[in-house]
Structure 1
Amino acid sequence: MAGKFELDKASNGQFIFRLKAANGQVILGSEQYTTKEACKNGIESVQTNAAKDERYQRKEAKDGRHYFNLLAGNHQVIGTSQMYKDTGGMENGIDSVKSNAPGAAVDDLTD
């Protein structure tokens, strides 16, 4: 099984996406979008930018855990990772986004 995007609705009715690795683990989540079309555009932006290392913003939370944001060409955050206990885990997460996102199918859970 390859990685995939899940397009879903949040509890408030807005749209979100998750990028899941082949093992089903969520590796990137989106902000909330007011329309399904905007959410689909966010997925396309992830697919376009995922392979570009300079688009990853590596961060450290106040509790010492690590995470990353994937940025669009205009420097807007288009996806945020889960928290990792160390930088090695975070880098593995980035590698997973790079390998899974570009050709990932979209599973629309809103229909």
Structure 2
Amino acid sequence: MYFEIYQETRGLMSATGGQWRWRLRAANNEIIASGESYRNKQDCLAAIALVKNTNSQTPVRGV
């Protein structure tokens, strides 16, 4: 598995640099998770760090 970050190249923001996004890819390159968009690369990397810090003790909530 690996995290991939990229800058959006489509839409209104493309002319001014675009927003940053991340996705988690499996060993077979399939996307298994992704995050929201961020205005700068550092915020995107910080979000990845938060995901990396989860563990088996992290609760799962929902119905």
What is the aligned counterpart of 1:4 among 2, 20, 44?
2
Which protein has greater RCO, CA pairs closer than 8 Å, 6+ apart?
Answer: 1
User: 2 CA distance for matches of 1:28 and 1:48?
Assistant: 15
- Matched with 2:32 is 27
Aligned length in residues: 55
- Matched with 1:15 is 20
Structure with higher strand content: 1
State percent identity of aligned pairs: 29
Q: Deviations over 1:35-76 (max 9, x none)?
A: 100000000000002x2440x4457xxxxxxxxxxxxxxxxx
1:17–1:57 CA distance, 2 compared to 1 (3 A): farther
Q: Compute the TM-score of the two structures, normalised by the length of structure 2.
A: 0.76
Q: Give the secondary structure class of the aligned counterpart of 2:39.
A: coil
Which segments of 5 or more consecutive residues in structure 2 lack a partner in the other structure?
Answer: none
Which segments of 5 or more consecutive residues in structure 1 lack a partner in the other structure?
Answer: 60-111
Structure 1 runs of 4+ with >4 Å offset: none
- Matched with 1:36 is 41
Q: Compute the TM-score of the two structures, normalised by the length of structure 1.
A: 0.45
